[in-house]
Amino acid sequence: MVRISDVLSKSLESTRRHLLKRREQVGDNQVSILSGEDAEFWYNSFKELFQDTEESADGDDLLFFVTHHALQQKPEDPDSRTDINNRHASTNSAHSEDGNQKSAEAFFVLRRSSTKIPVMEDPAVDWESTYYLNTVLHGFQYTLTIVIGTRDDTSGHIVPENTVSRRVYPSPSRTRMDQSKGTVTEMTYPRIFFPVDDFEDFFQSVVCTEGGIVCVELTAQCTEFVTSIFQGSVPYPLLLQAFNKKVNAASWNPLVTKSCDSMEFLKMRGPKGVGQAEMAVSRVSAEYSADGRASDPPTPGKSQANGGLKGFFASTLRGLTTPHPSALELEAAPNLNACLTFVNIRLKHLVVNVLGAKPHKPLLKPGVIPEDRV
């Protein structure tokens, strides 16, 4: 058998041509309803890429089947508390031998070797979404890169000082800690999560100081194809303000005990609101003085496809409207450890990105990925 990587480029090009033809037929503003011809195309594309190949890019033998019920669901909030413990098992058992889906779940999971793989005529399966989801989950390798840098006053470019990279894995669900239930899994589809489970250890060296900026990029790669799928940045003043704001807010709650070395979780959105990243921020210096002036969470810089690092981060730097700190505040400014906990992006945005005629050129040069982290 051939590998997915050997046929993915051909499959994606075929998909681009098919979507262009359908767009010409139904128009950009019309809702596309899967016809029999469409179902056959997506089923054959799925089968060729994921059933007739040797293995996926990540070596995973699980296949995800999206149901038509998923199209009727409201988009999941990334902070929702939907518990899907044992959903995969219960949904799989509800999938009958004749391929009919009995459950109203957004998707169900089967192994490649399962005898219950749906047939093309299965009315429950949305084959187009199924093809997209498995392509995103199994077709690419994803690299997350964080750069700590400073701005050159002359050129306005970002000068990297510390770069950390690691491979991350996509999932249509995520795990979290619940006080009453322990570790639980919640469905996030159509949001795809890229979690960093050991973020405290891995990003221990990522420390942002006064005058610095934290830059984040997530890339997808298959053979020679590389595209940037998430970019964001936040300068030190906004990072510190958001951190202080959360610490100060917690101090008003008599039921919450906070130390000056507490870890706060901050959100940052990608360009044009596409995608979201969560950063765990904590102090790493003895001096700390919360000024309580924080008003807004950190806002990432907008990316420009060919603008280089200056274009990538310029809007963030221009949008910095906080007052200039006094000499005393500069002296007391704490160093902040910035650990990225996850990135999440909606499936449709991922699909548009990887199916684009031209990839989005990555703007951050990744660091060396340790072998034990691959």
Which pLDDT score is estimated for 263? 82
**What's the number of CA atoms in the CB half-sphere (13 Å) around residue 351?**
16
Which pLDDT score is estimated for 316? 39
Which pLDDT score is estimated for 20? 81
CA distances from 249 to 16, 160, 238, 256, 303 (A): 49, 33, 16, 10, 32
CA-based nearest residue to 193, from 363, 3, 328, 346: 346
pLDDT in tens, 173-198: 998 765 566 678 888 999 999 999 88
How does DSSP assign 245-257, residue by residue? HHHHHHHT-TT--
Q: 3-state DSSP call for residue 211? A: coil
Question: Could you tell me the residue ranges of all domains in the chain?
Answer: 4-138, 141-369
Structure tokens at 141: 């390798």
Which pLDDT score is estimated for 89? 35
- DSSP at 272: G
Which pLDDT score is estimated for 257? 47
Distance from C-alpha of 345 to C-alpha of 373, rounded to nearest angstrom: 22
Q: Which residues contact 36 (CB under 8 A, 6 or more apart)?
A: none
Distance from C-alpha of 32 to C-alpha of 18, rounded to nearest angstrom: 13
Structure tokens at 331: 């002296």
Q: What is the pTM for the complete model shown?
A: 0.75
Distance from C-alpha of 99 to C-alpha of 95, rounded to nearest angstrom: 6
Is 189:322 a contact under the CB 8 Å cutoff? no
Which pLDDT score is estimated for 30? 46
Which pLDDT score is estimated for 302? 38
What parts of the chain have a pLDDT lower than 70? Answer: 1-2, 26-37, 55-59, 70-104, 177-182, 250-261, 285-332, 357, 367-374
